[in-house]
C-alpha cells in the first residue's frame, strides 16, 4: 500500500485509457483492479492522475499512430508536473507495446513503462522496479506463469455493472496474411474451464447478469490445464448453470471453428443470445485464399444457413477489409454480393492497412482512393441493412436487460437479445432485470421502447 502513497500521504491515482478491441477493455479493467489492490484510486482524466496507462491497439496503422500523438500530450503534462515537483508516470501497454517494445522509448523518452498484453499482471512489480531504478522498464516477453492465476491471486473482480466481458481464449494460430494478432497476442491459448467458471461465479456474485466470452478465436476454445480438453459449447453449457447468469454471448468467432455442437447449442440453450459476430473479411475466393483464411465464401454461406436453421432469428455481424492487395473491382463486387446474401444486423468494415511483418504488406497495394471509394460503397450497403434490421423490430416485444441510467430523468438503457441499445422509461429498480419492452421507434444507433411487463 505504501507505494501508492505520496509523501503527503494522499492516495495516488491512475488513469487507464484503452484503444481497440473488447479484449483490451477487459485487460484495462483487470489493470484497474490490480492498481486498486495496490492502493491506487482511479482518476477520471489524465490531468488528475499520477500514473497514465495507454492500453494500445496495433491492428491498423491509424490505431498504432494514435499512441504517439497521445504520448506527446502526456509528455507535456509530465513536464508541467515535474516543474511542480510532482511525480507523473507514463506507461504503454497492449499490442503496440508488444510489437514495438524499446522503439517506443526511443521515439518518446518520457515513457516510464512498456509492457505487453501477456505481462500486465506484473504491473505492481514493474512499477516498483521503475521507481527503484529510475529508468524505463520494458517487459514484453511471453511469461511462463499463468497471467490469469496471477491476477486472481493479486486482485479481486470488482463491481462490473450488469454485463461483463470475460476473456477465455487469447492469441491466434491462423495467420491471416494481413493480421498482426498472432505476433502481438501470441499463439492460441485457452484458459482452463475451472478458472473460467470461478471467475464467472465471482462476476455473478457482483451482480453480473450477462457474460460476453472473449477471444481472438473464441470458438477455437479448448479448455486445458488440469481439467483437460473442452470446447466452447461445453463451456457455455456449464456457465449457463451458474445462478444469476441469464445471458451469454461470445466473440470473435472464426468460420473454421464453428462446430456442430456450438450451432446446436444455439438451438437448445435459451441463455445463448441470438447474435453472432462471424467475420469473413471478403467475398471473393481469390482474396480469401490470398488472405489465408482457409475457407471459401460458399463454406461461410452454408454455415450461416445451418446457423439460421438452428436459430432462425440469429442476427449476424461481421468484419470486412476492402482494398486487400490484389483485390479487383470484380473481387470487391463479390464482397457486396455476399453482404446482400447474408444480410447483416451489424458490421465493421475497414480499409486494408499494411502492417509491418505481415505477408500481405509485401505485395502491391491498392491505391488509397480506390480503397476509400470501395469502403464508402460497402458501408452504404451495410448501413442500409443495419437500419432495415432495426426497423424490423418496431412493433415487436423484446426481452431487454436493463443496464444503466439514460440521459433523461426516468429513462433507462438496456440491451435487446440482438445487442441493440434500447431506451425506455423505467424505474431505477429495473436495473439488472430483464423486462419486456415493446419497440416503438428507431434512432440512428438505438431503439426506443415502452415497458410492457416483467419477463416470464
Q: What distance lies between CA 335 and its chain's CA centroid?
A: 25
Q: Tell me if 179 contacts ligand SF4 by CB under 6 A.
A: yes
Q: How far is the CB of 323 from ligand 5AD (least distance, A)?
A: 9
Footprint of ligand 5AD on residues 317-356 (CB under 6 A)? 319, 321, 350, 352-353, 355
The correct pick among 281, 317, 335, 385 for binding ligand 5AD (CB under 6 A) is 281
Asked if residue 253 lies in contact with residue 276, where contact means CB atoms within 8 angstroms, the answer is yes
Pick the closest to residue 181 from 86, 235, 107, 252 (CA basis): 252
Residue 85: partners with Cβ closer than 8 Å, 6 or more residues away:
none
221 forms part of the interface with ligand 5AD (CB under 6 A):
no
Please return the burial class of 247, using the count of CB atoms within 10 Å of its CB with bins 0-12, 13-18 and 19+.
buried
Of residues 122 and 185, the one with the C-beta less far from ligand 5AD: 185
Q: Which is nearer to ligand SF4, 325 or 414 (CB)?
A: 325
Binding-site member from 53, 123, 138, 181 for ligand SF4 (CB under 6 A): 181
The Cα–Cα gap between 248 and 266 comes to 11
| Among 434, 438, 436, residue whose Cα is nearest residue 450 | 438
Q: Give the binding-site size for ligand 5AD (rule: CB under 6 A).
A: 12
State the binding string over 122-161 for ligand 5AD (x if CB under 6 A, else -). ----------------------------------------
Q: In the complex, what is the shortest distance from the CB of residue 442 to ligand 5AD, in angstroms, rounded to a whole number?
A: 26
The interface region with ligand SF4, picked from 20-28, 103-111, 150-158, 179-187 by CB under 6 A, is 179-187
**Smallest gap, in angstroms, from Cβ of residue 44 to ligand 5AD?**
29
All three cell numbers of 44: 477520471
User: What does 174 bind: ligand 5AD, ligand SF4, none (CB cut-off 5 to 8 Å by kind)?
Assistant: ligand SF4
Closest distance of CB 233 from ligand 5AD, Å: 23
Cα of 170 vs its chain's centroid, Å: 11
- With a CB cutoff of 8 Å and minimum separation 6, the contacts of 313 are 274, 417, 418
The only residue of 51, 53, 59, 287 in contact with ligand 5AD, by rule CB under 6 A = 59
* Binding to ligand 5AD in span 354-393, by CB under 6 A: 355
- The candidate with the shortest Cα–Cα distance to 127, out of 101, 88, 76, 80, is 88
Among 17, 66, 81, 174, binds ligand SF4 (CB under 6 A): 174
Q: Using the rule CB under 6 A, is 422 a contact of ligand SF4?
A: no
Q: Which helix (H) or strand (E) holds 64?
A: helix 61-83
Among 78, 254, 271, 311, binds ligand SF4 (CB under 6 A): 254
Residue 172 touches which of ligand 5AD, ligand SF4, none (CB < 5 to 8 A by kind)? ligand SF4
The reply to whether 178 sits near ligand 5AD by the rule CB under 6 A is: yes
Closest Cα partner for 54 from 40, 66, 41? 66
What letters, b where the CB count within 10 A reaches 16 and e where it falls short, cover 296-320? ebebbeebbeebbebbeebbbbbeb
* Backbone φ and ψ of 236, nearest 5°: -60, -40
> Please, are residues 433 and 440 in contact by the beta-carbon 8 Å criterion?
no
Interface contacts to ligand SF4, rule CB under 6 A: 172, 174-176, 179, 181-182, 216-217, 254
Amino acid at each position: 500500500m505504501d507505494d501508492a502513497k505520496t509523501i503527503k500521504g494522499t492516495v495516488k491515482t491512475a488513469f487507464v485509457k484503452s484503444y481497440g478491441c473488447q479484449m483490451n477493455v477487459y485487460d484495462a479493467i483487470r489493470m484497474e483492479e490490480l492498481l486498486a489492490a495496490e492502493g491506487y484510486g482511479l482518476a477520471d482524466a489524465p490531468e488528475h492522475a499520477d500514473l497514465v496507462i495507454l492500453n494500445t491497439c496495433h491492428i491498423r496503422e491509424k490505431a498504432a499512430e494514435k499512441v504517439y500523438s497521445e504520448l506527446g500530450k502526456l509528455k507535456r503534462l509530465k513536464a508541467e508536473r515535474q516543474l511542480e515537483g510532482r511525480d507523473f508516470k507514463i506507461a504503454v501497454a497492449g499490442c503496440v507495446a508488444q510489437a514495438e517494445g524499446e522503439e517506443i522509448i526511443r521515439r518518446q523518452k518520457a515513457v516510464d513503462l512498456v509492457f505487453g498484453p501477456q505481462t500486465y499482471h506484473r504491473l505492481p512489480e514493474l512499477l516498483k522496479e521503475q521507481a527503484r531504478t529510475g529508468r524505463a522498464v520494458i517487459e514484453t516477453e511471453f511469461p511462463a506463469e499463468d497471467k490469469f492465476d496471477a491476477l486472481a491471486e493479486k486482485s479481486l473482480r470488482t463491481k462490473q455493472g450488469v454485463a461483463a466481458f470475460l476473456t477465455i481464449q487469447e492469441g491466434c494460430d491462423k495467420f491471416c496474411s494481413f493480421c498482426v494478432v498472432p505476433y502481438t497476442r501470441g499463439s492460441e491459448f485457452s484458459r482452463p474451464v475451472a478458472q473460467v467458471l470461478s471467475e464467472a461465479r465471482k462476476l455473478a456474485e457482483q451482480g453480473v447478469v450477462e457474460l460476453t466470452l472473449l477471444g481472438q478465436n473464441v470458438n477455437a476454445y479448448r479448455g486445458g490445464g488440469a481439467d483437460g480438453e473442452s470446447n466452447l459449447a461445453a463451456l457455455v453449457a456449464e456457465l449457463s448453470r451458474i445462478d444469476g447468469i441469464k445471458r451469454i454471448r461470445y466473440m470473435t468467432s472464426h468460420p473454421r471453428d464453428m462446430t456442430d455442437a456450438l450451432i446446436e447449442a444455439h438451438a437448445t440453450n435459451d441463455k445463448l443470445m441470438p447474435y453472432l459476430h462471424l467475420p469473413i473479411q471478403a467475398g471473393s475466393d481469390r482474396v480469401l485464399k490470398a488472405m489465408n483464411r482457409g475457407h471459401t465464401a460458399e463454406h461461410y454461406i452454408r454455415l450461416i444457413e445451418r446457423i439460421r436453421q438452428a436459430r432462425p432469428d440469429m442476427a449476424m455481424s461481421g468484419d470486412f477489409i476492402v482494398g486487400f492487395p490484389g483485390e479487383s473491382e470484380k473481387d470487391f463486387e463479390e464482397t457486396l454480393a455476399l453482404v446482400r446474401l447474408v444480410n447483416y444486423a451489424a458490421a465493421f468494415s475497414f480499409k486494408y492497412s499494411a502492417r509491418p511483418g505481415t505477408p500481405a504488406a509485401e505485395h502491391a497495394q491498392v491505391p488509397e482512393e480506390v480503397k476509400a471509394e470501395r469502403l464508402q460503397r460497402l458501408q452504404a450497403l451495410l448501413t442500409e441493412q443495419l437500419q432495415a434490421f432495426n426497423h424490423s423490430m418496431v412493433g415487436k416485444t423484446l426481452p431487454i436487460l436493463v443496464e444503466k441510467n439514460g440521459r433523461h430523468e426516468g429513462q433507462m438503457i438496456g440491451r435487446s437479445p440482438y445487442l441493440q441499445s434500447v431506451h425506455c422509461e423505467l424505474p431505477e429498480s429495473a436495473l439488472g432485470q430483464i423486462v419486456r419492452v415493446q419497440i416503438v421507434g428507431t434512432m440512428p444507433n438505438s431503439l426506443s421502447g415502452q415497458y410492457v411487463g416483467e419477463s416470464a
